[in-house]
């Protein structure tokens, strides 16, 4: 984890989270899909910059780490991905949905930085995560 602490809405920890978004290519993190959609779980009031109302602090490190860290707090239980531009609707486990989405965009999961990071992390022992309210 890149963040020393993560401020995360505790109500989401015990909730059934459905990530519902539309598939799109993204210049910052290669693809916007179910896992990158979780960036919205970072409370703007805690992650905005001093001179900005945007969540600038989540970009302190490369964005793939922000996606990784927020999903380590709470992985969505279900992903529904609108890929209607490609004639598809993908429903399932978020990591698998994003892997299929990368293929729809003509990429491999390894070409998507945050998916590649999840693949690398899945081969290491897990760390304890401390959540702060």
3-state SS assignment for residue 44: helix
pLDDT tens sequence across 58-97:
667 788 888 888 888 889 999 999 999 999 999 999 999 9
| Segment holding 103, helix H or strand E | helix 94-104
User: And the tokens for 87?
Assistant: 């004639």
**pLDDT for the residue 64:** 87
Name residue 91's beta-bridge partners: 80
Nearest residue to 73 (alpha-carbon basis) of 32, 34, 130, 125:
130
**pLDDT for the residue 35:** 94
Per-residue 3-state assignment (H helix, E strand, C coil) for 12-33: HCCCCCEEEEECEEECCCEEEC
Sort strands 30-32 and 24-26 into parallel, antiparallel or unpaired.
Answer: antiparallel
**pLDDT for the residue 126:** 53
Contact 6, 73 (CB under 8 A): yes
Q: What percent of the chain has pLDDT over 70?
A: 72
User: And the tokens for 54?
Assistant: 């945007």
| Residue corresponding to tokens 């459905």 | 18
Contact 119, 108 (CB under 8 A): no
Burial of residue 16 (CB within 10 Å: 0-12, 13-18, 19+) is exposed
pTM for this model (two decimals)? 0.79
């Amino acid at each position: 984890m890149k963040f020393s602490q993560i401020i995360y809405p505790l109500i989401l920890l015990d909730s059934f989270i459905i990530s519902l978004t539309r598939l799109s290519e993204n210049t910052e993190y290669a693809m916007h899909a179910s896992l990158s959609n979780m960036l919205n779980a970072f409370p703007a009031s805690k992650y905005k910059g001093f001179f900005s109302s945007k969540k600038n602090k989540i970009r302190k490190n490369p964005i793939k780490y922000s996606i990784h860290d927020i999903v380590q707090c709470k992985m969505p239980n279900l992903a529904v991905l609108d890929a209607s531009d490609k004639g598809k609707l993908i429903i399932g486990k978020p990591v698998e949905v994003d892997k299929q989405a990368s293929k729809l965009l003509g990429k491999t999961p390894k070409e998507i930085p945050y998916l590649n990071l999840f693949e690398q992390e899945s081969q290491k022992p897990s760390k304890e995560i401390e959540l702060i309210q």
